[in-house]
Structure 1
Amino acid sequence: MKTKGYLLLFTLFGLFACATSDEVVEEDNNDVASIYFPPIASNTWETTSISEIGWNENKLQELLQFLEEKNTKGFIMLYNGRIVVEEYMNDHTATSSWYWASAGKTLTATLTGIAADEGLLDINNKVSDYLGIGWTSATTEKENLITNKHLLSMNSGLDDSLGDNVAPENLQYIADAGQRWAYHNVYVKLQDVVAQASNQTWASYFNQKLKDRIGMSGSWLPLADLNVYWSNTRSMARFGLLISANGKWNDTEIVSQNFLQEATNTSQNINKAYGYLWWLNGKTSFHLPSTQLEFTGSLIPNAPNDMFAALGKNDQKIYVVPSKKLVVIRMGEAADDSNFALSNFDNELWEKINEVTN
């Protein structure tokens, strides 16, 4: 009886120990899974290995070789904020600066959201409330139809065929606001709206409310008729991490989750794959720059349906995938031919990423 009693106690103790051990592992996994934010005033950034998170390490070299052949300069993959892959190639380094091109449109969207959160502006108000009458060549009646939200959504109704210059003579009426989607540089007028509403320069408000608060480097530089952001690759990754964390940096709200939810969902009824200057995957149809054609299917078929992206000329990329806790950054020259936003490279790249992450 004693022997049986000891055996029973030993068995029960073993089961309890196993359960306790499982609980500890689960807690450790939760700790690993919790989102990490790199320090603001330091270049330190925690890493995690491919093997730790169960990715396929055997496919990594194939991905990196593909990236190098496709003129990539900087490439980063974050999992829950920690760096899993960070590579520089084609004469680029971790400290080199590179342009965001139109991927930087999402910086403008975010600053607009911050100003709205602070009550400095309302995205549903007309642009002329902030810039005055005559900021376009449209009649006052038609100009007053254009709201800040129309600029965020790319459906201002202004003619997109007249180049990037946004002087009034180049901003001509072609359709009522909300009736036509067109990829157009007029969105940049939001920077003037934010500057006017905040009573600061655009760069000053940007630095104070976003750049300095998440530890980004870089600056806005004029390029022809464009205002382009330049930074190192990690700064682009910091911004992607902020967005993936629903607008928070650690426990500090930088931009509200409510605004980001609007920004990363369909913003109008013409181009389902477009939010507030963010491109959206997994929709039933999409439009592309420089055309009024509608294409059936998902923007990037190989990418997860919940992925949304900042896409810039010559394949500057920020991919955010909530379901995979993943942020992917790509900077460099055009992978193939020069392009404005989306290219075949996106789908090819995601085929390679999937082989690693799946």
Structure 2
Amino acid sequence: MRPAKQSEAGLVTSRMFSYLLMAAAVAPAPFVPKAEDMKAAFSYSTERRGHSMIVVADGKTIFEDYKAPNNARSVNPLASGTKTFNGVVALAAQADGLIDLDDPVGKYLPQWREGNKATATIRQLLSLESGLGSTGGGLRGPSWASVLDDPLTAEPGTKYQYGQAPFNTFGAVIEAVLKTESYEAYLTSRIFKPLGISAQWTRCDDGRPQMGGGGQMTARDWATYGQFILQRGQWEGKSIIPADLWDELVKPAASNPRYGLSCWLGLPATGGGTPVNAAPFAAPWVPKDMFMAAGAGNQRLYIVPSQKLVIVHQATLLSDPRWSDVGFIARVYGQPDPNPDSRTGRGSRPGLGGGRLGGGRG
């Protein structure tokens, strides 16, 4: 399924900067779960094409609701929420001695051994600053092999470029290392199976999963995956991925401090050209350590380590222009919505709404 055409992401504006100043001036509120707040957030969501919401606090599900026909068994597209699977796979592969995040991509792929590609690293692929731009293709996308010969459109490490191709390229890296095992099989056996969760896939032209935006999952399974990240790879008394590796997931990219290793970070954007439409940090009640997986249609997996909090939001792939991450999170926290357009339903202010994340589809 391809997402409907959506507007380009907003850029940092003077109005957005004023919200950032407000955020810096007000200390984050502690999270005190209240049923009426959860219901208000769910109502806000369902009025804006949302249909599934789960809140997990300190390892316990404190809220779960669905709008029919969706239910706990409904498998829904994650769109670019899929991307974070790649960062976690990278941590697992490093723990297994298969790769190092700072290895050059060319160590594993011959197509990346010459010219400016020779200096690009796996970390830069997953931080979207390898120089490889988007090849389009929506949620389906071209075959993995077809993107390996694509030229870079920027020098590695100098420019953040949102898209699907870097993640399918990373998939090719992992398959080159595994030799006889597929990326999908490794992801399933190494991560999903120990957690008791599963995923379905929109596939590329070659039948491989679209790792930039083709994942599909129930809200419960996505929440379980988020809890696994929150617990830094520790699950039911076992260390699935060593805890000391998880700081790598939230290290800011050199060219975009709001993006980590395949996930969005709750840090102020600096400099032009940075999309801010998925910016919960603009709300003063949100802790600075919040990060998230996010996809088209306002698919969200918010994680707040300091408050042991995981929030899942799923919606139709057609974004509602009235959606705002700030408006949704404000209601979860039982706080007033600072965005009047979000309250009145007139649409989102620049930099505070939903829609497409960066320049890619989904």
Q: What's the CA shift for 1:323?
A: 1.7
How far did 1:337 drift? Answer: 4.0
CA distance 1:92–1:296, shift in 2 (3 Å): closer
Is the contact made by 1:99 and 1:229 (CA closer than 8 Å) also made in structure 2? yes
**1:78 partner letter:** V
Mapped to 2, the partners of 1:298 and 1:314 lie a distance apart of 15
SS of residue paired to 1:260: helix
Deviation at 1:150, TM superposition (A): 0.8
Q: Distance in 1 between matches of 2:287 and 2:324?
A: 16
Q: Please say if 1:222 is aligned against 2:203.
A: yes
Aligned CA distance change for structure 1 residues 152 and 60 (closer, same or farther; 3 Å): closer
Partner SS, residue 287 of structure 2: coil
Match of 1:277 among 262, 277, 289: 262
Match of 1:32 in 2: none
Work out which of the residue numbers 332, 335, 343 in structure 1 matches 2:315.
332
Task: Tell whether the 8 Å contact from 1:72 to 1:90 is kept in structure 2 after alignment.
Answer: no
**Residue 198 of structure 2 corresponds to residue 198 of structure 1:** no
Tell me if structure 1 keeps the 8 A contact 2:195–2:235.
Answer: yes
- Could you tell me which residue of structure 2 aligns to residue 313 of structure 1? 296
| Contact residue 152 and residue 276 of structure 1 kept, 8 A | yes
The one-letter code matched in structure 1 to 2:171 is Q
Aligned residues of 1:70 and 1:334 also touching (Cα < 8 A): no
Contact 1:71-1:90 within 8 A present in 2 as well: no
1:299 and 1:224 mapped to 2: Cα distance?
A: 35
Q: Does 1:252 align with 2:252?
A: no
Instruction: Say which is worse superposed, 209-218 or 62-71, in terms of deviation.
Output: 62-71
Asked if residue 159 in structure 1 is aligned to residue 133 in structure 2, the reply is yes
Taking structure 1 as reference, are residues 78 and 99 closer, same or farther at Cα in structure 2, changes over 3 Å only? same
Counterpart contact for 2:103–2:121, Cα < 8 Å? yes
Show the counterpart of 1:176: 155
Mark the CA change 1:196 to 1:62 in structure 2 (over 3 Å): closer, same or farther.
same
Shift of 1:204: 1.0
CA–CA distance in structure 2, aligned partners of residues 168 and 300 of structure 1: 34
**1:60 maps to which of 38, 62, 71:** 38
Give the alignment partner of residue 225 of structure 2, picking from 220, 223, 239.
Answer: 239
AA at the equivalent of 2:177: A
Which amino acid counterpart does residue 232 of structure 2 have in structure 1? N
Distance change in 2, residues 1:146/1:97 (3 Å) = same
Supply the AA of the counterpart residue of 2:172: D
1:300 to partner: Cα distance = 3.1
TM-score (norm 1): 0.74
Equivalent pair of 1:273/1:280 in contact (CA under 8 Å): yes
Higher relative contact order (CA 8 A, sep 6+): 2
- Counterpart mapping for 1:86-97 below 5 A: 86-97=64-75
Mapping of residues 92-107 of structure 1, within 5 Å: 92-107=70-85
Instruction: Name the aligned partner's letter for residue 228 of structure 2.
Output: L
Match for residue 3 of structure 1?
Answer: none
SS at structure 2 position matched to 1:305 = coil
Please tell me the root mean square deviation across aligned C-alpha atoms, in Å. 2.8
Corresponding residue SS for 1:78: strand
Q: Which residue of 2 aligns with 1:150?
A: 124
Post-superposition offset of 1:269: 2.2
AA at the equivalent of 1:210: I
Shift of 1:298: 6.2
Instruction: Give the whole-Å Cα distance in 1 for the aligned partners of 2:91 and 2:190.
Output: 11
Q: CA deviation at 1:177?
A: 0.5
CA spacing shift, 1:55–1:162, aligned 2, 3 Å:
closer
1:271 partner letter: N
Q: For 2:294 and 2:248, locate their aligned partners in 1 and report how far apart those are by CA, in whole Å.
A: 18
Task: Indicate the percent of aligned positions where both proteins have the same amino acid.
Answer: 22
Q: Residues 334 and 350 from structure 1, CA distance in 2 versus in 1: closer, same or farther, beyond 3 angstroms?
A: farther
Structure 2 length as normaliser, TM-score? 0.73
Structure 1 contact 286–295 (Cα < 8 Å) conserved: no
Does residue 300 of the first structure (1) align with residue 285 of the second (2)? no
What SS is found at the alignment partner of 1:300?
helix
Higher normalized helix content (fraction of residues): 1
Aligned residues: 292
Asked if the contact 2:199–2:216 (Cα under 8 Å) also holds between the matched residues in 1, the reply is yes
* Structure 2 residues without counterparts, runs of 5 or longer: 1-30, 336-362
Query: 1: CA distance between counterparts of 2:58 and 2:47?
Result: 28
Measured in 2, the distance between the counterparts of 1:108 and 1:169 equals 17
Please, which runs of 5 or more residues in structure 1 have no aligned partner?
A: 1-52
Aligned to 2:328: 349
